[in-house]
Chain A
Amino acid sequence: MPEFLLPLIVLSPFSAAIILFLSAGRMPARYVGLLATGSVGLSAIISVILAVLLLSAPSAEPIRVTLWEWMHTPVFSAHIAFELDPLSLVMILVVTVIGFLIHLYAVDYMRGDPGIARFFGSMTLFIAAMLVLVLSSDLLCLFIGWEGVGLCSYLLIGFWYTNPANTAAARKAFYITRIGDAAMLCGLLLLAATVGTLQIDTLTEAVTAGQITPTAVTGTALFLLVGALAKSAQIPFQTWLPDAMAGPTPTSALIHAATMVTAGVYLIARLHILFTAATVAMTVMAVIGTLTLLMAACSALVQADLKRILAWSTISQLGYMFLALGTGVWQAALFHLMTHAFFKALLFLTAGAIIERVHHEQNIFRMGGLLRTMPGIAGSFLAGASALAGLPLITAGFYSKELILSSVWHANFPISSRFSLSGHVLWAIAVVGAFLTSLYIFRCFFIVFFGPLKKDASGHTPLLMAIPLACISFLSVFGGVVEIPDTLAPVHLFTQMLNPSGFFTHTEDPAWLLYAGAAAPLVGLSVAWLLWGRTSSVIQEIPGQTIIIRLTESGWGFDILYDFVLVRPFRFLNWLGRHDILDRMSSGAASATRRTNAFLVRFRTGILSYVSERTIVMTREGNVLLARMQNGRVRWYAAWIVTGLCVALASAVLS
């Protein structure tokens, strides 16, 4: 039974995608939405059934399905194979349930768009690819999903292709992630060449058994880390994600907040044994995560575009996950991944609803006072914002962030043999980050919903959009109770499910750690209230003139840097390459040959004509001479005969 259900969960959205693409826009919009939502809903139902089956089974054996052998050569073999263990179970639940709710929301959101079939086709294809990614038990099979989600992301960011900025953003996203993919492919090649297979179980066994040299492990880990960083928009690859907001809002919610960007986190969690063996990679990961979370939070603080605030916030939250992964607590990263998927999807969907009702205005400074016109939306946004900020006790975000913070405090990151980076430093930065998170999201909340009404909102949010909002709001608030710190109540459902043997004990944690983590968001909230919340606000609009603000707003100048370091040299190379040099050389050789040829021809003609002219003249003169002898006089002929005879005789006699 599970062996049958597991492929079906992928097949359902995949076949829907094929039907939608083949229909090529001839299907009525209503059926398009119905088909897409239904197929994802079916997947969601199947994943719930599978969850029940897996968790109720007495043994903790994962469900494995090997569909067929993909490639087989003497040195390497790969399979198309799925495996469902608690880790992938969490992922498929997040992907299908959140995906289903977002599809439901999109049915109304995208109503009337001429390209709705293309939209839903790409969305369902994305769900299928994401499921392949999280279910594969073979890294090469995972790579199919990995590239597939990238492709769908490209298609959806550039969905409104009539605006060149959108397609440029789409290409930027694809190129940057593709660089990471190339690195990841190198990692896969290194592993495949060393082990001979990319089966995850075999790989982890090989790592634990020490079959792979430490150099190879570190190399692989670094290569894969680059791939994961690019996919998850961490420093130095973060620039594509804010631009990716050009896509429709459901896309931003599903792909660029809840699921695809967390693929990097999933990959590292999946291969945590490999990464644990490579301490260098772990340190790099933790440091990059910390830097990213701080930098992105600062950027989010100064943005004016509602969706860009959320995009930077996504980067920042992914930074938390990478910090957790670098620390080695991949369960915490996964927990945060789940709660983040809830509240960030909620925030994006709410933002989409707001933007739609205020006539596609995205600048928060042109909104204001929307609390009165859309209280329901405001409620959802508040739920999402508090979860993101991690307001203590009442939100899901608090528990997951707390789990990360408390583990970082104890960690130690060796940099060299003598020097190591203490976890306390990273913990402090992460707490500052939590404060900033709270600050920027409530800044956004207060500016949009409080203050004077600046832009009139029209219409109302349809029911099909409101239901998903309500569901996800519920999840964002209460989704965190599956894992509670020991200081409050010893609930460890989540980590125990992921790791039944269990190693999570925080008994020796000082209580003030928890309080500090809980206080940071509250302080942020209060500061935000002081600065933007009161009607006579201290700062209504950031004076965006200072250089630091502009730098921060534009993403710390990374775009400009890349423009100078990568894009322009590449353009220059292209400019150089607009003519094939080798072609030029051969053409040059050809023209040189032609010229030589012409010269030779002229030379030859000169010589020939001279020679032939002389010949003609001489022949003519000789002719005249000979013609004289042919005078027809018999006597002359006889005389010539005699002369000849005499000469002959003379030569015969005298010789």
Chain B
Amino acid sequence: MPVFSFNDALLVAVLLFATGLTGVLVRRNLLFMLMSLDIMLNAAALVFVAAGARWHDASGQVMFLMILALAATETAVGLAIILRLHARGRPSLDADTGNLLRG
């Protein structure tokens, strides 16, 4: 029997997503933005898991695994880009400074 009802799970997911979104929009640090993105992904994953539990369907867990892989990949690529930028001698992690296309 479920500890939380489906509505509670959705509420948590919305809170998580809002937190992540706010983080993406508000923070300028690229690392924090990546972390906020992960939070948003996890919110989505939570909805999948809750839905799977609600309708007794395994697809929810399958989608969670896929999102997990996606999040890992995304973080890996994102961190790699940040490292490359750092290696090119870019001193800042500020996202707003990268708005100009320059070699």
Residues in A lying within 8 Å of B, measured CB to CB: 631-635, 638-639, 642
Contact = CB atoms under 8 A, between A and B. Distances in A.
Contacts of A632: 98-101
B90 interface: no
B28 interface: yes
18 contacts: A631-B99, A632-B98, A632-B99, A632-B100, A633-B95, A633-B96, A634-B98, A635-B24, A635-B25, A635-B28, A635-B33, A635-B95, A635-B96, A638-B21, A638-B24, A639-B25, A642-B21, A642-B25
Interface string B15-40: 00000010011001000010000000
Contacts of A642: 21, 25
**Chain B interface main SS type:** helix
A633 B99 contact: yes
Contacts of B98: 632, 634
Query: B96, B98, B101: which has the most chain A beta carbons within 10 Å?
Result: B96
Nearest to B21: A642
Contacts of B95: 633-635
B20 to A, nearest CB: 11
Q: Is the interface of A mostly helix, strand, loop or mixed?
A: helix
B25 A638 contact: yes
Chain B interface extent, by class: 10 to 19
Nearest to A632: B99
A112 to B, nearest CB: 109
Nearest to B30: A634
A639 B96 CA distance: 13
Contacts of B99: 631-633
Interface in B83-103: 95-96, 98-101
Nearest to A630: B99
Nearest to A635: B25
A642 B23 CA distance: 13
A639 B24 CA distance: 9
A635 B33 CA distance: 9
B60 to A, nearest CB: 23
B28 to A, nearest CB: 7
A611 B71 CA distance: 54
A632 B102 CA distance: 12
A631 B33 CA distance: 18
Nearest to B96: A633
A627 to B, nearest CB: 13
A630 to B, nearest CB: 9
A634 B99 CA distance: 8
A632 B101 CA distance: 9
Contacts of B21: 638, 642
Contacts of B101: 632
Nearest to B27: A635
B73 to A, nearest CB: 19
A638 B40 CA distance: 13
B59 to A, nearest CB: 25
Contacts of B28: 635
Nearest to A639: B25
Contacts of A635: 24-25, 28, 33, 95-96
A475 B59 CA distance: 149
A632 B94 CA distance: 13
A591 B28 CA distance: 74
Contacts of A639: 25
Interface in B60-85: none
Given A635-B24, A635-B33, A642-B21, 20 more contacts: A631-B99, A632-B98, A632-B99, A632-B100, A632-B101, A633-B95, A633-B96, A633-B99, A634-B33, A634-B95, A634-B98, A635-B25, A635-B28, A635-B95, A635-B96, A638-B21, A638-B24, A638-B25, A639-B25, A642-B25
Contacts of A638: 21, 24-25
A643 to B, nearest CB: 11
Contacts of B24: 635, 638
Give 6 nearest A-B pairs by CB, closest first: A632-B99, A633-B99, A633-B96, A639-B25, A638-B24, A635-B25
A633 B28 CA distance: 10
B5 to A, nearest CB: 23
A639 to B, nearest CB: 5
A216 B33 CA distance: 122
A62 B103 CA distance: 125
A628 to B, nearest CB: 12
A638 B24 CA distance: 8
B84 to A, nearest CB: 17
A633 B96 CA distance: 5
Nearest to A631: B99
A631 B97 CA distance: 11
Nearest to B101: A632
A150 to B, nearest CB: 102
> Which among B33, B95, B98, B99 has the highest number of chain A CB atoms within 10 Å?
B99
B65 to A, nearest CB: 26
A633 B25 CA distance: 11
A638 B100 CA distance: 17
A100 B33 CA distance: 135
A634 B96 CA distance: 7
A639 B22 CA distance: 10
Contacts of B96: 633, 635
A642 B98 CA distance: 21
Nearest to B26: A635
